[in-house]
Structure 1
Amino acid sequence: MPLNEYRSGAAFPGVIGRTADVSTPAWPEPNRAPEGSPNVLFIVLDDLGFGQLGCYGSPIATPNIDALAADGLRFSNMHTTALCSPSRSCMLTGRNHHSNGLACITEGSMGYPGSNGYIPFENGFLSEMLLQKGYNTYAVGKWHLTPAEATSAAGPYDRWPLGRGFERFYGFLGGDTHQYYPELVRDNTQVEPPATPEQGYHLTPDLVTQAKAMIADAKQVAPNKPFFLYFATGAMHAPHHVPKEWADKYKGQFDGGWDAYREQAFARQKELGIIPGNTVLSRHDPDVPDWETLSPEERRLYARMMEVYAGFLEHTDHHIGELIGFLKDLGEYDNTLIMLISDNGASSEGGPTGSVNEGKFFNNVPDNLEQNLAAIDDIGGPKYFNHYPWGWTHAGNTPFRRWKRETYRGGTSDPFIVCWPKGIAARGEIRSQYCHAIDMVPTVLEALSIEAPASIKGVTQSPIEGFSLFDCFNDADAPSLHRTQYFEMFGHRSLYHEGWRAVCPWPGTSFTESGRRFGDPISYDQLIQLDAHGWELYNLEADFAETQDLAAAERERLIAMIGMWYVEAGRYNVLPIDSRGTQRFAIERPQIAVDRERYIYYPGTQVVPGNAAPRLLNRPHAISVEAVVPEGGADGVLFSMGGNDGGFAFYVQNGTLTYGYNYVADSYFKVVATTSMPSGHHIFSVEFTPTGPVDIANGRGTPAHITLLVDGEAVGQGDLPVTIPLQLGLAAGVAVGADPGSPTMPDYQPPFAYAGEVKRALVDVSGEPLENLEERMRMILARQ
């Protein structure tokens, strides 16, 4: 006999008598999705260009993703914001990135409504919407949607995945991570990877394993309950990490260079019909050297970097195939609405020569060909944080010009595959309707026959800003509903309107032609000149790849579109225009705790992320660690902030107190005590005193004098000729008693936990000399 159930808010329909025998029960109705509701799976790849999937013309093997396309639809006209966090916010909310406060990545927030890094609660996530409708909701992989200063254990947690409608989370909170030593979080707690690189660990298969487990956990209990899985790989973002055998499959395949790749991919794209037959390949980029002008050593290095990238992509495709195969084994594949997309075009952060440490880019440090060549046999392994040169970036965005961070189509046009065997009759077809990442949420809602909620958790919701693509699922000729779309990223602006695109490039059409660099600021006077003379105009109906500038011939149309851009900018909180790049990382942002001059940290706690840690770059500071040294001594890390891409560690090796500094994996410096560590209870300190100017533009932080102390008495001194100017290792955070993740210094294996007892650590940024250290420590602790 079915239970008597009633909906929340309805009157109790049972009978309440004086005793149970004359009463009839009724139960609150569980939150159930309608029978037969499809699962929803978003697969979000990182830094993948329009021309890098096999089914979009690439020579790289992606058979599992190609199979999704063969079972569904490929879109040739999908657009993103040209950067990761902003695009992801669009995918999950259906609102534009400035409406979400994400003009830039969260680490680049600037304190304006369109750029504060805080996605408003009135812009509900798809996870929050579907949770209300009886769905399980899971997020696995890259997040990067929490303000960077709010990712510590102090929270607040309301903008972590579990605070935005996801019931479970496993992945990393930042923009990228080491694929062998990731900074992992499960739900709201940091966790260590389940294995080491030596044991065969790699992040991508781990993410797939966790996603499968989440789905199975619920399906074995409630097989009819649908799920929404947001699956966002760390791939294909740098570091390009993959087991060597995957990269070796591509040996020799890129020896012809990036222009040969472009020609091959371009021809294949026309053959596949993913681009119109009249498309003209965009020009060879002036910032990219001709392959034939490179030395044999350069060609060998750059070809290997691309082999590693290709192996990384095929490896990722393989594990995506395992996830899809799991859905088939469960019988869930046919009724799962799958959307696969990249968050922006291919990335140029490897610079003109590629890099074995992407951290150099974020600190304006030039790469060194000799160093990169010396690393060639280890590229793709755990030792390096590698990225290919921007010649491959240009090739990866075939047929378009430019790349990530710029709003030419190379930065904003991305692969987009939709597969839903039960809901889409078409197989292997191409759709050319104009669309943007903000269209994904309204498309899902219409496919599920769900209206966008008026409120979530009592918060009145803003209007959805995207348009549903549902009509074109089974009608290739359905009209494009998305008629106008603005773009802005680091001052690079464009506007799409009814088949035309106006583009105002900054720093320019190329660095070579403009004489400017990424991150150069736009002044008010320059903006006036750009609006008068800097805009280009393209008719996409006749010129898919933006090769024929019609600004002079269509002046009236261009002027109207410039005005339209400003209308959209006012509507979506785009202003002020701020073109600064890596300089944004140094901007101070509000912290949960008031700023202070002294910080106390403890062992056995979660790593404190860099954005919530003391600001130590280019300023005097001291670090003191209270520890107990056993008889016979003990080795290990006392305090660390960094990884193998940069940072520092204060540690004991061979019984000797040591300060090690990793300057973006370019140079390593060590200051070693002249005496052995004494046994017993002591306070071990390192004092950092700047000795010269900072040159941020050229990637040089202040030089410094280092003093090592035991109980306030100097035991060693040395000098750092250069330090990191803007950002320690991309995953650098405060760790006491160990160096988790990748090793900051190359002379030990992580976590290199201290074998004695660490009680606490004091970080002092007051600039005062270390005098009466024990008394100062006691007084500070008394105030905690």
Structure 2
Amino acid sequence: MGLIEYEPGTAFPGVIGRTAEESTPAWPRPVRAVPGAPNVLMIVLDDTGFGQFGCYGSPIATPNLDALAQGGLLYTNMHTTALCSPSRSCIVTGRNHHSNGMASITELATGYPGYNGNIPFENGMLSEMLREHGYNTYMIGKWHLMPSEQESAAGPYDRWPLGRGFDRFYGFLGGDTSQWYPDLVHDNHQVSPPYGPQDGYHLTEDLADRAIAFIADAKQVAPNKPFYLHFCPGAMHAPHHVAREWADRYAGRFDAGWEAYREQVFARQKQLGVVPADARLSRHDPDVPEWETLSPDARRVAARMMEVFAGFLSHTDHQIGRLLEFLRTTGELDNTLIMAVSDNGASAEGGLTGTTNETQFFNNAPESLEESLAKLDELGGPTTFNHYPWGWTWAGNTPYRRWKRETYRGGVSAPFLVHWPAGIAARGEVRRQYAHLIDMVPTVLDVLGVAPPATIRGVTQAPLHGVSFAHTFADAEAPTRRRTQYFEMFGHRAIDHDGWRAVCPWPGPSFAEAGIPFGTDITSAVLGDLDAHQWELYRIDEDPTETRDLAAEHRDTLIAMVAQWYVEAGRYGVLPIDGSALTRLMVERPQITEDRKRYTFWPGTSSLPGAVAPRVYNRQHSITADVEIPESGAEGVLLCHGASTAGYTFYLQDGRLHYAHNYVGRIVHRVASTDPVPAGRRRLRFEFEPTGEPDIAKGRGAPGRAQLYIDDVLVGQTDMDVTTPVLFNPGLLTCGANHGSAVIPDYQAPFRFTGTLHSVTVDLSGEVITDSEAEMRAVMARQ
């Protein structure tokens, strides 16, 4: 008799006798995928506009993404939520972002079901669904789908990738990270990059390597077992990091400016059929200066920033190509369902002029044009944390208006490609059917013939909100099945319904036209006025770029659309409408531990993300290290927080005790002990005492006196006229080493401590002075 298998949970079909001779064995059936089931590959780029892929008319070379379009389908009507984490929650769950608790980013969570930042377990992820059907599931790259205070080694881990159905994870948990010195996690623990940028390291290349390795690991054992790979490189989010040779490929290509880029891309989009031949280009954005009004130096800086972005995108495309080539050589490409998309429109978080170091922007200390010029040759390299000006954001979303965080089409429209040679006969065709990110999971399940599960790990599942668009694969004229979709982000609202689009911009159609700043809350009185007078109406199937407001001519239609928005809002947990940002940032949230004034760290432990690190800004504090110094001496970092862009470091070098504070990459304040640290067990201490008030609005943290002590004896002192006022980002807090880029150029990272370090204690005392508005800007820029 052959092998007998039975479904786990059903009756044992074998025979159990007194002895094995009298018995017949049977085995619980392993979970196996249906023979021939396709692999699934989701490629999710960050902050990439509708007009930035080559196949969408851009002059930026993206040959591998273009090849997906040429060998498959290019969609022109895919919609996002306008922001990173909310969109990503839609992609993996098939539910609307408010129903996922992801009204915004988790750092701005509030105490309402649609806003609390925790994706409910009844909204299962595609990884959890497919693993139950015999798939290997891999998460590579950016996660950012859980509260930031849960990103530390204290957990909880149930919302980390491995807690949500992924077999393996390699990437980063937060909203952004350096491409040269990333904050990496492998499965459930922190790791360091395998080598440094001086040896050619780049995060996107590393992620492609890991994706290939994960697939190969399983395929060499079980070649017929399909995989689901969620591939989410940090690109194209800032920092725009890439080796110079990639950026130099675009030297001079953007010297004509952003208006010229838009005209060129728009013309190309019409040729490609990406937009209708009679479409109008949306207006010149009031917040964007005309290129010719910039000084020659300002144009030079802006053009180079775009060259670096373009090189970064081409480099990212190349790494995607390496992954695709691996699938091709292993015979897997044809039977892999690939969907490539961006999480929202291009990002305006580089500000009006762009920046070579976003940490300066976070801390209200923007660089001057002269400082930008001085860093021009370093743009994209390890010493920068750069982002282009919002003129290029506007251009990147051609032909649409506005950008990320807003629900005009520039914020919510995304490039979207589908490639599956074994299952789609069409090659190089355009599809214009309306779709939203919530439709991706239902489409995958439809293709696989898999019903949404009723339960996952004992949790009853909520219905999917998306609808499959698999019927469009074979029919360019197939009707759109999604008739209605709402949008809301920071009170900026919109709704699409049967070819109409209504938009209620908040706080206004642009910054210049708003009169009040972004993040201003919406009161009941204001909401009444908005609903009565501020909604705009477009016939989107005739005017896809929102150029003709028909609100006055079609008042009845508009009223019905607004009413429908409220129906959708009630259905999916959108209420209460909240236009605030700063207020949300300051909301008290549940923490895994009580607030503390004293923190103790040990060497060799995991580094801490900023959300759970001691907040030393603008306040009296001390750092005390309990060490043993051998007779031969010791050197290395005791404690540090930050990176070359900003931070502090407490360390031994040349036998002496040192402390250095890097003020936003602009100034380094240093103090050293007058005498060497003696051998033996020692108590090494740094103290900071503010000597004045900070001027946070002008980017200046509290001045203060820095003092060094050895066994309570003062051995060094200096006055610092300015400190970092708001935030060290990027960079973790690390005990016993300096992971990532060195906080100061005086030593080479990781500069591990060579003596015996028992512990380091940070003690906070005195009043803390902070700027919540600046902290909010920093949080938003990490999306």
TM-score scaled by length of structure 2: 0.95
Match of 1:414, as an amino acid?
A
Structure 1 match to 2:760: 761
The aligned runs of 1:685-696 (5 Å cut-off) are 685-693=685-693, 696=696
Shift of 1:709: 2.5
In 1, distance between residues paired with 2:228 and 2:663? Answer: 42
Taking structure 1 as reference, are residues 30 and 66 closer, same or farther at Cα in structure 2, changes over 3 Å only? same
Deviations 1:269-307 (CA, angstroms, capped at 9, x unpaired)? 000001111211111111111111111111111111111
Taking structure 1 as reference, are residues 478 and 765 closer, same or farther at Cα in structure 2, changes over 3 Å only? same
Q: Any conservation in 2 of the 1:493–1:505 contact (CA below 8 Å)?
A: yes
In 2, distance between residues paired with 1:362 and 1:577? Answer: 27
Deviations 1:384-436 (CA, angstroms, capped at 9, x unpaired)? 11111111111100001111111111111000001111111111111111111
User: Is residue 153 from structure 1 mapped to residue 153 from structure 2 by the alignment?
Assistant: yes
Taking structure 1 as reference, are residues 198 and 78 closer, same or farther at Cα in structure 2, changes over 3 Å only? same
Q: Any idea what SS the aligned residue of 1:414 has?
A: strand
Structure 1 match to 2:206: 206
Structure 2 match to 1:773: none
Q: Any conservation in 2 of the 1:737–1:758 contact (CA below 8 Å)?
A: yes
Taking structure 1 as reference, are residues 114 and 713 closer, same or farther at Cα in structure 2, changes over 3 Å only? farther
Shift of 1:700: 4.4
Taking structure 1 as reference, are residues 334 and 394 closer, same or farther at Cα in structure 2, changes over 3 Å only? same
Shift of 1:674: 4.0
User: Is residue 744 from structure 1 mapped to residue 755 from structure 2 by the alignment?
Assistant: no
Deviates more, 1:112-121 or 1:749-758: 749-758
Deviations 1:317-343 (CA, angstroms, capped at 9, x unpaired)? 111011011111111111110000001
In 2, distance between residues paired with 1:741 and 1:762? Answer: 22
Match of 1:757, as an amino acid?
T
TM-score scaled by length of structure 1: 0.95
Structure 1 match to 2:547: 547
Structure 2 match to 1:40: 40
In 1, distance between residues paired with 2:572 and 2:141? Answer: 29
Q: Any conservation in 2 of the 1:87–1:344 contact (CA below 8 Å)?
A: yes
Taking structure 1 as reference, are residues 282 and 212 closer, same or farther at Cα in structure 2, changes over 3 Å only? same
Structure 2 match to 1:316: 316
Q: Any conservation in 2 of the 1:585–1:726 contact (CA below 8 Å)?
A: no
Taking structure 1 as reference, are residues 491 and 725 closer, same or farther at Cα in structure 2, changes over 3 Å only? farther
Q: Any idea what SS the aligned residue of 1:544 has?
A: coil
In 2, distance between residues paired with 1:722 and 1:577? Answer: 40
Q: Any idea what SS the aligned residue of 1:707 has?
A: strand
Taking structure 1 as reference, are residues 116 and 265 closer, same or farther at Cα in structure 2, changes over 3 Å only? same
Taking structure 1 as reference, are residues 126 and 536 closer, same or farther at Cα in structure 2, changes over 3 Å only? same
In 1, distance between residues paired with 2:148 and 2:397? Answer: 29
Structure 2 match to 1:221: 221
In 1, distance between residues paired with 2:136 and 2:387? Answer: 36
Deviates more, 1:500-509 or 1:535-544: 500-509
Match of 1:12, as an amino acid?
F
Deviations 1:722-757 (CA, angstroms, capped at 9, x unpaired)? 444443213x33211111012222333211222322
Taking structure 1 as reference, are residues 635 and 41 closer, same or farther at Cα in structure 2, changes over 3 Å only? same
Deviations 1:449-473 (CA, angstroms, capped at 9, x unpaired)? 0010010000001111111111111
Q: Any conservation in 2 of the 1:101–1:115 contact (CA below 8 Å)?
A: yes
Shift of 1:88: 0.5
In 1, distance between residues paired with 2:701 and 2:578? Answer: 24
Match of 1:261, as an amino acid?
Y
Shift of 1:477: 1.5
Structure 1 match to 2:11: 11
Deviates more, 1:589-598 or 1:520-529: 520-529
Structure 2 match to 1:411: 411
Q: Any conservation in 1 of the 2:383–2:645 contact (CA below 8 Å)?
A: no
Taking structure 1 as reference, are residues 556 and 377 closer, same or farther at Cα in structure 2, changes over 3 Å only? same
Q: Any conservation in 2 of the 1:586–1:726 contact (CA below 8 Å)?
A: no
Structure 1 match to 2:503: 503
Shift of 1:2: 4.1
Deviations 1:497-522 (CA, angstroms, capped at 9, x unpaired)? 22112112123222122233333444
Shift of 1:649: 1.6
Structure 2 match to 1:459: 459
Identity of paired residues, percent?
63
Taking structure 1 as reference, are residues 760 and 467 closer, same or farther at Cα in structure 2, changes over 3 Å only? same
Q: Any idea what SS the aligned residue of 1:758 has?
A: strand
Structure 2 match to 1:275: 275
Match of 2:270, as an amino acid?
K
Please tell me the root mean square deviation across aligned C-alpha atoms, in Å.
1.9
Q: Any conservation in 1 of the 2:355–2:366 contact (CA below 8 Å)?
A: no
Q: Any conservation in 2 of the 1:585–1:727 contact (CA below 8 Å)?
A: no
Taking structure 1 as reference, are residues 366 and 277 closer, same or farther at Cα in structure 2, changes over 3 Å only? same
Deviates more, 1:254-263 or 1:521-530: 521-530
The aligned runs of 1:241-320 (5 Å cut-off) are 241-320=241-320
Q: Any conservation in 1 of the 2:737–2:753 contact (CA below 8 Å)?
A: yes
Taking structure 1 as reference, are residues 456 and 560 closer, same or farther at Cα in structure 2, changes over 3 Å only? same
Shift of 1:667: 3.6
Structure 2 match to 1:162: 162
Deviations 1:673-724 (CA, angstroms, capped at 9, x unpaired)? 4444333222222223344445555544444443332223333333444444
Taking structure 1 as reference, are residues 227 and 365 closer, same or farther at Cα in structure 2, changes over 3 Å only? same
In 1, distance between residues paired with 2:253 and 2:531? Answer: 44
The aligned runs of 1:254-653 (5 Å cut-off) are 254-581=254-581, 584-585=584-585, 587-631=587-631, 633-653=633-653
The aligned runs of 1:702-717 (5 Å cut-off) are 702-717=702-717
In 2, distance between residues paired with 1:747 and 1:286? Answer: 45
Q: Any conservation in 2 of the 1:664–1:729 contact (CA below 8 Å)?
A: no
Taking structure 1 as reference, are residues 760 and 62 closer, same or farther at Cα in structure 2, changes over 3 Å only? same
Q: Any idea what SS the aligned residue of 2:414 has?
A: coil
Deviates more, 1:106-115 or 1:274-283: 106-115
Match of 2:636, as an amino acid?
G
In 2, distance between residues paired with 1:457 and 1:252? Answer: 56
Shift of 1:582: 6.2
Q: Any idea what SS the aligned residue of 1:77 has?
A: strand
Match of 1:150, as an amino acid?
Q
Taking structure 1 as reference, are residues 110 and 711 closer, same or farther at Cα in structure 2, changes over 3 Å only? farther
Shift of 1:4: 0.9
Match of 1:258, as an amino acid?
W
The aligned runs of 1:25-104 (5 Å cut-off) are 25-104=25-104
Q: Any idea what SS the aligned residue of 1:298 has?
A: helix
In 2, distance between residues paired with 1:764 and 1:549? Answer: 58
Match of 1:545, as an amino acid?
T
Gaps in structure 2 of 5+ consecutive residues: 768-783
Gaps in structure 1 of 5+ consecutive residues: 769-784
Q: Any conservation in 2 of the 1:703–1:722 contact (CA below 8 Å)?
A: yes
Deviates more, 1:636-645 or 1:266-275: 636-645
Shift of 1:14: 1.2
Shift of 1:550: 1.5
In 2, distance between residues paired with 1:58 and 1:25? Answer: 63
Shift of 1:541: 1.3
In 2, distance between residues paired with 1:415 and 1:687? Answer: 52
In 2, distance between residues paired with 1:617 and 1:376? Answer: 30
Q: Any idea what SS the aligned residue of 2:209 has?
A: helix
Q: Any conservation in 1 of the 2:619–2:765 contact (CA below 8 Å)?
A: no
In 2, distance between residues paired with 1:150 and 1:659? Answer: 30
Deviations 1:347-383 (CA, angstroms, capped at 9, x unpaired)? 1111111111123343444342111110000111111
Match of 2:229, as an amino acid?
L
Deviates more, 1:415-424 or 1:658-667: 658-667
Taking structure 1 as reference, are residues 507 and 654 closer, same or farther at Cα in structure 2, changes over 3 Å only? farther
Structure 2 match to 1:733: 732
Structure 1 match to 2:773: none
Match of 1:658, as an amino acid?
H
Shift of 1:579: 3.1
